[in-house]
Every structure is written in C-alpha cells, then in structure tokens.
Amino acid sequence: MSDNNLRKKTSYLQLFIFILTLFFLQISCSQTDDQVMNNEDYYVAAYVWPSCHHDERFGDMLWPEGIGEWEVIKKGTPRFEGHYQPKVPLWGYEMDDDPEVVEKWIDAATDHGVNVFIFDWYWFDGGPFLESSLNNGFLGARNNEKMEFYVMWANHDVRRNYWNVHKYEDDTSVLWEGAADMNDFKEVVDRVINQYFKRPNYFKIEGKPVFHVFSPDNLVRGLGGLERTKDALEYFRDETKKAGFDGLHVQFRAGGGMEPGLLNRNLSEGKKINEITSYLGVNSVTKYNWGHDQDYIRLGTETIKKRERLDAALTVPYFPNVSIGWDDTPRFPHKGKEHVTYYNKSPESFAAFLQKAKEYCDQRPAEPNLITLFSWNEFVEGSYLLPCMKYGFQHLEAVKKVMSGEYDPYSD
C-alpha cells in the first residue's frame, strides 16, 4: 500500500471517529437536557399580595402616606420577647408596581425554583383595585418572560379597619363586598381574557388559562345561586374559547375545615363536594394558606391531614399548598403571641413540608405538578419568600434545595 493511500485511509478513519464522537456527544447532551427538564417539571407558584404601591382608585382613602400597605407594615410592633416586628425587607420598602423592583423579584424567584406568580386580583365598586403591581410591575418587567403567571380573583369582603387600623380604628363596617353580580362578572371576564389570558406567559393547564377563585361562596352568592353560577362559568368558557383558547381551567380555593368542602351549607343546595365541582365545571382545587396555629409543625401536620381527606373526597386534582408562617399583628393591635405562628417556624421546617408536597405530586404522575406557596411577599401576614433582614434568602434557598432534588430527608 502506498504512503498516499495509507494517509487517505487514516484521514477517513479520523473523520469517521470525529463524526461518531459528535453523534454520541449530541445524545449525551440531549439526555442531560431531558434530565434538566425533569428537574424543572414542577410548577412552584407563589401568591403575590399587590398592596405595596399607591393605588390610583382608592390609595388616598386607605393608605394616605402614598406607599400602600407598607404604611401599616412599617408600624408593626413586637408583642412578646423575640417577636420579629416590624418586618424589614432585605431590599428595603420598595414599590411593587415598579418594573425594576419586580425584575429583581423575577430573577430571585426563578434562580431558586419559583416559576409562577399568582397575583391576588380585586374588583370592587365597579372596577379593578390593586392591579398596578401586575400591570406595571410584572408585565412591565423586561424579564417577565422568565416566569408564568395567573390571577386569583380575591373576591372576599373588606372591612374598613382591616387594611388600615391606624386610620379606621374600631370601624368594622364593610367597605366592599366581594360578591359580584352578572354585570360585573361579564366585565371581569372581558378584562381578564383581554388583559391577561392573551399574554404568552399566562399559566395554562392543557392549553386552558387558569382562573383561581378565592371565595366560591361569594361567587355563588353574587351570581344568585348554583344554576346562575353554572351559566356564568359557561359564559366565561365560551368567551375564552372565542378568544382562541382550548377552554377555561376553573380553580377553587378549598375551605380550611377538616371536613372537605367548597361551599357553605346554605349555598351548596344539598350538593356534595363532587356534585358541586361537576355541576359548575370546576377543574381543580387548592388552598391559599394554612391558617393559624402557634406551632408551625402542628399546623403543617394538621394541614396534611386535611389535604389527605380532600384528596380522597375529590374527583378533580387537588394541588398541595405550603405556608411559611402567620403573623398579621400589624393589622390588629389587640393580637398577641397566641395569634402568631411562632414555635418551630424556620426555613428548615418549611423545607420539610415542601418536600412532602413534592412527594405528593410525585405520587400523582397523571396530574400537573403544581404546588402553591403562601406567599411571595405577604409581610403584613408574616408569610413570605422575598428576602428579609432576619432570614435573608433562607426560604428561597429551601425551595431551590427541595425542587432541585438536593434535599436529603435523612440528613436535612
């Protein structure tokens, strides 16, 4: 064989080995990408309380200092030894309708495994309220495509002294009722579809935009009974389909009692929980928070028992919820230690319950892996992931550790 032919065969062999190496490298990279996707196969959705900015409609009436509910949060006072009040955000008392502020939120959230925001969304007195955090802050953020979002219609009643006891003191009269009639409901539907559903990063399940209802009771009460509520939700579905979507995913908040339920007995018209979900076309159920107990571990353990009973009763998916704590003393001067979740509250105990929520999802592979967290920024109720001066990034680091699979229940 000539030296020239030998060199040619050697070159062909080297080229073949190079191409083969690229092929296996591509397979290896593809497998790595799949592994990364599997690690990110969870929707970790934190509720956003959008009160810390000046609202154009009612801001002067509720929070005259012009900084929204920071006015109340900053006036929090310790009620017992070791009570962390006032709560101090690590980045300061920043306005939640500032897109540069929310850009930091989005980076911090997504860097630690939180990939969905659920915005509390209000409709009072014929129009929206506290909408600017979502409209200006989140949707104005240059990096908002990194996250998905959806809205929870926070259709609960509001008493005058609930959001600013320093101004209204003992005035417990109702400022706004959360129940809305069909005329208001149609305006809500139009606004939500056109302003939010059509955003490319609006959160969907099976192609259907998710619409979360905080108070099923007020929904039924305002619309005038179960039959009219069924008709209203059917109208909502039809309008959503007209807008080009596969349908509407209706999510209800479950009540806090041990017995599984979605509606008060006087509104359920004798229907049981699955008859209600079927009749109204409810697609899923979750919670907003755990409520209150002085002992965090006892509260979480009790919540898991409630979750088990709900899951056993429901024929639609129940998505687990994890709370960080409870302390609404800034809103209520008369409250003391017995009203605060204080004992055994720590980033470590939060991580343990988040791990249990993740395991709950893993046991239901046919359902979306959605976990709701209370909350991103509820400083006024003492339950937040947003870094503060006491805990820093510890709660966010706990989310990252659990959701990345680094959490070790044998050692953590």
Q: What is the tens place of the pLDDT at every residue in 90-111? A: 999 999 999 999 999 999 999 9
pLDDT in tens, 15-51: 444 444 444 444 344 333 333 323 368 999 999 999 9
Cα-based torsion angle of the residue sequence 237, 366, 353, 92 in order, rounded to the nearest 10 degrees: -40
Q: Identify the H or E element spanning 288.
A: none
The CA distance from 84 to 78, in Å, is 6
Domain chopping of the chain, boundaries: 42-403
Write out pLDDT tens, residues 262-294: 999 999 999 999 999 999 999 999 999 999 999
Q: What is the pTM of this model?
A: 0.90
Between CA 349 and CA 168, with CA 78 as vertex, the angle to 5 degrees is: 115
What pLDDT score does 256 carry?
83
CA dist., res. 171 & res. 166, Å (int): 11
Amino acid in position 157: D
pLDDT digits (tens, 9 = 90+) for 114-170: 999 999 999 999 999 999 999 999 999 999 999 999 999 999 999 999 999 999 999
Domain 42-403 fold = TIM Barrel (3.20.20)
